[in-house]
Amino acid sequence: MKRIKIIFVLALVGVLLIGCKSKEARVQEQLDLGSKYMAELDYESAIVALNKAIKIDPKNVDAYKMLAEVYEKSGRLDDARATLEKVLDLDDLSSENKDEINNRIKNLDFLVAISKLPGEYDEPTALELSNIGSNDIYYSIDTKD
């Protein structure tokens, strides 16, 4: 009888272990989903997946960085900045990650400054682009037919 109980307990533990994914695996699953949705330009689904990854592991720097990228691509620059600033508050953040995050925040400042001049212009408008750091400057001219 005692042997049957031991076998039953071991079987139960085995089933539980098989059914439970590790924290890292669950985070990676959400990161993969976020990447997939981002590639499909489904930014809202990507945001949901990446927020789930952050909920599972609130110290996962990659999840925050990817979430900030999604916010940036979807035009939500304030959310991108807030997300990057949360990363800077994490303990044990490497100096390499800290530098990268600070550069990304600085680059967002440039995007925000340019984005604040929306509208339609009938006359030619002069726009001066300057480069404070060693960042590249890209622009496009969109015309309506």
pLDDT value at position 43? 94
Tokens of 97: 């990650």
Topology at the third CATH level for domain 21-115: 1.25.40
Note if the pTM is more than 0.75: no
pLDDT value at position 122? 66
pLDDT value at position 91? 84
Helix (H, G, I), strand (E, B) or coil at 53: helix
Any idea what DSSP says for residue 134? S
Nearest C-alpha neighbor of 93 from the set 125, 124, 58, 118 = 58
pLDDT value at position 22? 87
Tokens of 32: 């993969």
Mean pLDDT by 10 residues, the chain (145 residues): 72 57 89 94 95 95 95 88 92 88 83 57 63 67 62
